[in-house]
Amino acid sequence: MRPAPTLRSAAVLTAAALGLSGCSVGWAGTTEAATPAAPVTTVADTESTPTPSAPEPTPEPTPEPTPEPTPEPTPEPTPSATPDVTPEPSPSTATSEPVDDGVVRPGDSGDDVLAAQQRFADLGYWLGEVDGSYGPLTTQAVLALQKAAGLQRDGVLGPRTQAALAAGTRPQARGGDGVEIDLDRQLLLVVRGGRVELALNTSTGTGGRWPTPTGRYAVERAIDGMREAPLGDLWRPRYFNRGIAVHGSPSIPAYPASHGCARVSFAAMDMLWARDLMPIGSSVHVY
């Protein structure tokens, strides 16, 4: 058996065949179109195992872009309840010890008040009971002293009022017996033998339409109880000029405020009745 032609010999044979078919003159002297030779198939072509070509790489699928998730808004943290904080007291609201400035005021109590009350009583400024408590009646006595001394009428026992108290300042009477009403100083004085026994804070007519007429009068009549009058209530009034009287009232300011009467405190009016210091027919001098 002949050995099978190699790939080289097959290539030579093919080249020869191509050279013959490329001539333009045939054997018979006629011109023919060259017939291309059929390809020669060799044993080697049929028996040789073709070298497998490398598989084409499978193209990786283009990944679809994954849509980025829309970020959810981060919720604002709920603030926790702020614990209550007790504020430091400011100097204006902080509780502090009272300043001892020597001033004695309404509402005070103790030995200083007791000593002042006793001094008022000795000088004739009526204040009820000497009990060491700076109440409304003590305030009325302080106002009476301030009026007699020509001081500011505030009802507070300050340095100047204390000095007047220590000096024994007393109002002077016009003389005789009875009751005197001093319109300028707004004082009601109980006078015996030309001397002031008691001095009371009073509030008289405002003037103008409601004056307290000046002059000498006598007590005409009295009502032992509350008199309900068109212009206000009068406690236990003692009339000395027709409808004008000395009577008790819940309001006795340091200035004229009545419709013509002379107001004193309820307690002072009770004292005048209890001691019978304004009997019927007794003198009332208004000036």
Tell whether 139 and 185 lie within a shared domain.
Answer: no
- The CATH code of the domain that includes 195 is 2.40.440.10
Return the CATH number at 129. Answer: 1.10.101.10
Give the chain's end-to-end CA distance (angstroms, integer): 179
Query: What was the pLDDT predicted at 64?
Result: 53
Question: Do the Cβ atoms of 203 and 186 come closer than 8 Å?
Answer: yes
**Tokens found for residue 82:** 């702020």
In a domain, 246, yes or no: yes
Q: 133, exposed or middle or buried, with CB in 10 Å at 0-12, 13-18, 19+? A: middle
* H or E element that contains 187: strand 187-192
Domain that holds residue 125: 111-166
Q: Is residue 141 part of a domain?
A: yes
Q: Are strands 244-248 and 232-241 parallel, antiparallel or unpaired?
A: antiparallel
Are 140 and 237 part of one and the same domain?
Answer: no
**Coil, strand or helix at 3:** coil
Let me know whether 240 and 264 are in one domain. yes
- Is residue 101 a part of any domain in this protein? no
Among the ranges given (12-26, 43-57, 143-157), the one the predictor scored with the smallest mean pLDDT: 12-26
Kindly state whether residue 251 falls inside one of the protein's structural domains. Answer: yes
How many domains are contained in the chain? Answer: 2
pLDDT tens digits, 94-120: 444 455 689 999 999 999 999 999 999
- Tell whether 119 is covered by a domain: yes
Based on the fold, state whether residues 151 and 188 are members of the same structural domain: no
b or e along 149-167 (b: 16 or more beta carbons within 10 Å of the residue's beta carbon)? bebebebbbbeebbebbee
- At residue 30, does pLDDT exceed 70? no
How sure is the predictor about 70, in pLDDT bands with cuts at 50, 70 and 90? low
Please check the confidence at residue 286 and state whether its pLDDT lies above 90: yes
